[in-house]
Amino acid sequence: MQLNEIVNEVIALGHQGFGTVDSLQGIIIAVIAAALMSRYGQIVFYAVAASIIHEVVNVGRGMMGGGSITIPDFTNMEVLKLIAVRFVGYLIVISLVYLVRRIVMRS
C-alpha cells in the first residue's frame, strides 16, 4: 500500500467519523465533553466516554418513542465498526471544540 492510499483512507475515516457525530445529539455531547476537559491529554478518555454516552442515548431514545429496550448487537462487526468510526469522529469534534474554547478563553 502506498502512502497516498493510506492518507486517503485516514482522511475518509475522519470524514465518515465526523459525519456520524454531525447531529444535534453528537454536537451536544462533544461540546459538554470539551467543556469538561481540563487538558488535551484527556482527549482519548473523553472520546471513549462520548461514544459510550452516544450509544446509551440511542437506546434511551428508542425507549422514549414507546418502544422496548433495543440494545445493539455488539457481536456484529458492522456495529463495532460504526462505534469505532464514531469514536474517531468524537476525537475530531471534541478536539476542534476544545481548540476553539482554548483560543477564545485566552483572549
pTM for the structure as a whole: 0.82
The answer to whether the CB of 94 falls within 8 A of the CB of 34 is yes
pLDDT by residue, tens only, the chain of 107 residues: 688 787 777 777 777 777 777 788 999 999 999 999 999 999 999 999 999 999 998 888 877 767 777 788 888 999 898 888 899 999 999 999 999 999 998 85
Determine the Cα–Cα distance for residues 67 and 45; give it in Å rounded to an integer: 31
**Listed residue (76, 88, 73) closest to 10, CA to CA:** 88
Domain ranges of the chain: 3-106
pLDDT score of 44: 96
* Helical segments of the chain, H only: 3-21, 24-36, 43-64, 77-106
pLDDT score of 1: 66
Determine the Cα–Cα distance for residues 30 and 50; give it in Å rounded to an integer: 7
pLDDT score of 19: 74
DSSP for residue 38: S
pLDDT score of 21: 75
